[in-house]
Structure 1
Amino acid sequence: MKIQAVRTLLLVTIFVIVIMCIYFALIPESYYLSRHFKPKNLTQGFPVVKDASFSLSRWGAALTNSSSVSRKVSSDMKTSIQIARDIYHTHGVVLFTMVNDAFFPFAASWCCNTAPMNNVHHRALFLTTDQMTGQRLSHLWPNITVVTLNSSQYAGSQEYSKAGYVRMMVERTRYILHLLEAGVRLLLFEVDCVWLSDPVPALLARHAEGDILATKVTDLDVTAGGFLLLNPTKATVKLWRHLTDKMDSLYRRLQNSQDAADVSEADNDQQYFTLLVRKKFAGVRVVHLPAELFPDGKWYKLPASERSSKPRPFLINNNWVVGEAAKMRRAKRFGHWFWNDEGKGSCNSTAVDSLFY
């Protein structure tokens, strides 16, 4: 009897150990998906992730202790990449952007702006830096896919050429590399802009002309880093991998810097990317799009007569101005702001309608 009891206890112990091993193998410590992800959505042509959360903050910690950066993709990262693949295979491209809590109003305005455009939201994948921003976006616009960083590191206003902003761009660059290595074509865009019409059909019609379709910064020989159609070719992947290495190195240099610390204008993803484009790194072919159809914020500074004489652009990037408040004021002045932030917030349907009719 005693031998039988010992055997039974041993079997139960082994069973418990096996179950625990399986549990921890399937749910890594560093990453997790929230309970909102429902695999059945993958059968719908364009899957919706209410709040697929994973942590990249561990990467940042690893960088401070190692000169090499591990790009091992966790099971949950793999899930988010698979969702991006599904969007790509269904719609031909993933519209990718990154926002934090301070930029939520701009993300909301863009979502209101583009809601009437066919399949734009279905193609969109937002990487948000906090769960609240991600949950709010997915609640208001459920057709948009939202992946949320598990970090409070990037909260609040992050000004261009400051350490906090640059660290956000490191995270963005890393995630784009995962998408490209997974064979996903993506359109990198920023939400502080207005889309006067959907540029995606025109861009897809030209995608085969180069590895990358890009725009140039007005009056400068600089390739803009915030609006890029990236084809997942060998040349693009090699270039982006090298760009990621350079951004990882910059991250290490800034590890002890406060968010508001100044960073040289020569040290950011846009400048690094421009240098690689000029060198034709890995034989990459970059086609620059017509500036009048994809203008930057200098468009707002043109005389009214000159603006009206130009072709109607697909979109206007609201840059060349510092600070969220200044961007918002300018967008409202030109009728390019579509979000009412009072109460729970809502789209300004009158402003949206006036843009198209």
Structure 2
Amino acid sequence: MNRNYFVFALFITFMISFCVIEYKSVEYDSLHIQTVQTILSRNCSYQSPREILKIKNETETNSLAFLSGNDKNLTQEQKDLESILTIAKSMSKEAVLVTVINDGYLPLAYNWLCNTKHMGIQHQVLVIATNQEAKEKLLSVSPDIKVVVLTVDKYLQKDQKYSHVGYIRLLVRRTEILLALLENRIETFLFEFDFLWLQNPLSLFKSYSGKYDMLFVHNSNKHSMVTNSVNGGFFYMFPTNTTVKLFQELYSRMLKLADRIKTWPPEKKVSEGENDQVYLNDLFSKRYGGLKALILPHTVFPDGKWYSLPESKRKSWKPYVIHNNWIIGNGNKIARAKEWGHWFLNNGSEIKCNFEAIRNINSVKTKEIFR
């Protein structure tokens, strides 16, 4: 009898041990597959099983927090992203116009809001600001827009120099936001405030739905306005699988860059061969993932070289927008806009639109526009 009990106990012990081993094996295989997929989609380095288990536990915890509405386990960055997505989803019956700004761009933002006040698009605008004061000022100019405050270090709230560490860190956040919008199938138009809008281009953009993944404008160089380079701050995205795949790769590259410069001071210059526009142009030129993209005509979407064209050529073009670039510094951009009659704010300390200037700009035939 005792021998039978011993054999039975041994059998039970063996079966329990086998089940535990099998369970661990299945769990590890599942994690391995998940990690390989992550490597393929994000181009990350391979992680040890211990790191994988830690990531799995953190991911499950954060997912449960989202589902339960309990966000105490989320990082501030994740909370910011959830706020942005919640608002963007409420706006997504139409394309969402997204831009990220800090204090250095606020005067240009006020000017653009006055410029486009009559176009009926401001309910589609989602501004990502870097502090509460900026949000309140923007809403005082246009209560129709949506503004979310991004939690950033104080130095990022100020004007950032192109291709410096602070500038790159802000662009990493912007790329993350754009990827999240696309992964949630939100049609997105990234724009910046240093543009003059003469006509609303959104219906033109929508007409390309189903034909292209992304729409771009030229990024001219010192030799020509027509190049194979595209502008990294003004493009329209249809949320196709191809566009999502491209932005996953772009974000992966930006994260690697951020990691390389994580110990650098904000004012340190970064190689101009390392930024989102360079990476985006590389992916565009390779038609990454089978990308179907269109560069819109430079006569319809010119950049700042338009201002130096002969008068006869300027008048022969019918632009939707004009990019106020090819000039260094926001102060110089403002001075040029004022010189050309493209400034729509009243003089003085109060932020108020100059409606006479807005009326003048409504017709592209007026001398105030073409001088």
Closer, same or farther in 2 for the Cα pair 1:116/1:254, shift >3 Å? Answer: same
Closer, same or farther in 2 for the Cα pair 1:159/1:257, shift >3 Å? Answer: same
- In 2, are the aligned partners of 1:131 and 1:149 still within 8 Å (CA)? no
Question: Which residue in 2 is equivalent to 1:280?
Answer: 287
Counterpart residue type for residue 147 of structure 2? V
Deviation at 1:83, TM superposition (A): 2.2
Deviation at 1:303, TM superposition (A): 1.9
Counterpart residue type for residue 297 of structure 2? P
User: Match for 1:80 among 66, 81, 84?
Assistant: 84
CA–CA separation in structure 1 for the residues paired with 2:340 and 2:304: 12
Map Cα deviations across residues 111-162 of structure 1 (whole Å, 9 max, x no partner): 00001102x1011000111121112112331110111112224122212122
Question: Which residue in 2 is equivalent to 1:346?
Answer: 352
Map Cα deviations across residues 164-210 of structure 1 (whole Å, 9 max, x no partner): 21221111111001100010011111001110011111111123221
Map Cα deviations across residues 192-237 of structure 1 (whole Å, 9 max, x no partner): 1110011111111123221001112123421111111111100100
Greater alpha carbon shift after TM alignment, 228-237 vs 249-258: 249-258
SS of aligned partner of 1:95? strand
CA–CA separation in structure 2 for the residues paired with 1:214 and 1:207: 14
Q: How does 1:74-223 map to 2 (within 5 A)?
A: 74=79, 77-89=81-93, 91=94, 93-118=95-120, 120-151=121-152, 152-218=154-220, 219=224, 220-223=227-230
Count the aligned residue pairs.
292
Identity, % of aligned pairs? 35
CA–CA separation in structure 2 for the residues paired with 1:301 and 1:260: 32
The RMSD of aligned alpha carbons is: 2.0
Which structure shows the bigger proportion of residues in strand conformation? 1
Q: How does 1:303-342 map to 2 (within 5 A)?
A: 303-310=310-317, 312-340=318-346, 342=348
Length-normalised TM-score, structure 2: 0.75
Which structure shows the bigger proportion of residues in helix conformation? 2
CA–CA separation in structure 2 for the residues paired with 1:162 and 1:337: 29
- In 2, are the aligned partners of 1:199 and 1:314 still within 8 Å (CA)? yes
User: Match for 1:249 among 230, 253, 256?
Assistant: 256
**Do residues 262 (structure 1) and 269 (structure 2) align?**
yes
CA–CA separation in structure 2 for the residues paired with 1:340 and 1:26: 46
User: Match for 2:72 among 24, 28, 52?
Assistant: 28
Length-normalised TM-score, structure 1: 0.77
**Do residues 240 (structure 1) and 247 (structure 2) align?**
yes
Q: Over alpha carbons, which structure has the higher Rg?
A: 2
Q: Which runs of 4+ in 1 moved over 6 A?
A: none
- In 2, are the aligned partners of 1:159 and 1:323 still within 8 Å (CA)? no
